[in-house]
Chain A
């Protein structure tokens, strides 16, 4: 479901690499932009797959068991509902919906159909697994606080962003543009997902600040490039998040990705790049790729195919059971068990993030659950 210039570029590769799976087709909704149709068709060609222009036709086929849903943020909720109602297991890009209403609808469709669902997350990465193990083995004692930073070192920052507090729309409707995304959602969702999964606790209150620090593209579209969340979880666990896009040259690798766990016995830090090996050679220094105006923030692999990656920091983590998130999802389907990051968890992530926007607008704490109208 959707092709180039979406995370399907990654997810399709994950599914293709799993011997239990066979890619069947690329599809999408019928009423989409010409640009999206072209990107979908190009992706289908590159993957040697047929393109089915109407998802309704694709969902009628009984040789399709799983739909990997990567529609643009604004329409992925309704697409996910449609797929679940057609009794297809759904693998969902993050965040899985743009409103609490849409998120609830996905959960309802999944649970009434009895299909499996999973939202993409980092929970199967080695550093996150280590953090979980530390909590479960009581290494830090009773959990008091958890602090998570996930940021992407991409994009070309401008020095011309005015320094003043940002006014936030409490109920944003549009989340994605070709040249920018709402980064509290797009990036903060990783941290919110990790915190919920690591703590096994629900978020009870949210205080949020959204800002424009780095990019003219975000400023022009009035979407934040940076966000901060301060939350209280069950058992009065304190949690904070910093999230955003910080520019290509602001980190030796892909961007800060780490979690501090604070307990009665002490603090432990888990970092996507630690332990690591650092490599310094006589190779030329890494320089940011030439800007591609079709994707100035470097969202997609396909638009920066021939560019060199940063390779000074080489993480040295043990291999995990699942080399990627999809393998675990297929295990869940095979074993008929619910994913640990199901649509219900995705809906909880969406609710926290939407509460964040309300909080940033009102500059006050928002308590969860948000009343349904």
Chain B
């Protein structure tokens, strides 16, 4: 994910697509030691970095006893993101993403990734409050205000 993350970040930084406003991130990942909630936290940290915005509300959907999870996120500037992860057996992970800017768009179609592909990004830390917000939304089955999670902390 390191190179894809960087490539997109560099394109955003050129200003070609304008201000990023929406990300649709769909990932099929092969099983690993990482829990699906942590993988979702990692992806939302990545989308937040691209959008250069702090989330204010998150709604996470998950069907019990399945390896699929979906999050819809609103950010402080009105930006939005939808991230969906499925853990499936297979040899390769696959990332399908679309990022809309206010004067252009980026598309990365879901080709199979390199066998050594990992979701890790160097030096990127997943905030604890983000994981807590994901878990809380899952627990109550409703959208969660990030500020409420921070207040509880």
Contact = CB atoms under 8 A, between A and B. Distances in A.
B98 A256 contact: yes
B110 A164 contact: no
A246 B60 CA distance: 26
A149 B103 contact: no
A163 B78 contact: yes
Contacts of A157: 18, 102-103
A161 B68 contact: no
Interface stretch (A22-30, A82-90, A258-266): A258-266
A249 to B, nearest CB: 6
B66 A207 contact: no
Nearest to A226: B22
A145 B103 CA distance: 30
A269 B110 contact: yes
Given A165-B56, A207-B59, A250 B104 contact: yes
Given A213-B22, A365-B142, A249 B104 contact: yes
B47 interface: no
A144 B68 contact: yes
B9 interface: no
B45 interface: no
A326 B28 CA distance: 37
A163 B61 contact: no
Interface string A212-255: 11100000000000101010100011101010001101110000
B142 A364 contact: yes
Q: Kindly state the interface size class of chain A when it binds its partner.
A: 35 or more
A267 interface: yes
A351 interface: no
A74 B57 CA distance: 33
A159 interface: yes
Given A147-B26, A240-B84, A363-B143, A230 B70 contact: yes
A110 interface: no
B6 interface: no
A159 B104 CA distance: 11
Given A144-B66, A147-B26, A228 B82 contact: yes
Contact of B78 (A166, A250, A269): A166
A369 to B, nearest CB: 19
A262 B86 contact: yes
Interface string B120-145: 00000000000000000000001100
Interface in B44-92: 56-57, 59, 61-64, 66, 68, 70, 72, 74, 76-80, 82, 84, 86, 88, 90
Nearest to B84: A147
B14 to A, nearest CB: 15
Overall SS of chain B's interface: strand
Contacts of A242: 22, 24, 82
Contacts of B64: 236
A251 B143 contact: no
Interface string A150-177: 0000000111010111100000000000
A275 B59 CA distance: 33
A194 B103 CA distance: 28
A264 B66 contact: yes
B93 to A, nearest CB: 11
A211 interface: yes
A260 B26 contact: yes
A163 B70 contact: no
Interface string B1-21: 000000000000000001101
15 contacts: A144-B68, A144-B86, A147-B70, A157-B103, A159-B103, A163-B79, A164-B77, A165-B77, A209-B74, A230-B59, A237-B63, A238-B62, A242-B82, A250-B104, A265-B88
- Across chains A and B, which 7 residue pairs bring their CB atoms closest together, nearest first? A163-B77, A250-B105, A230-B72, A213-B21, A238-B61, A165-B78, A144-B68
Given A157-B102, A240-B70, A269-B96, 16 more contacts: A145-B63, A147-B24, A157-B103, A159-B103, A163-B19, A163-B77, A212-B78, A230-B61, A230-B70, A230-B72, A232-B61, A236-B63, A246-B100, A260-B84, A262-B84, A267-B88
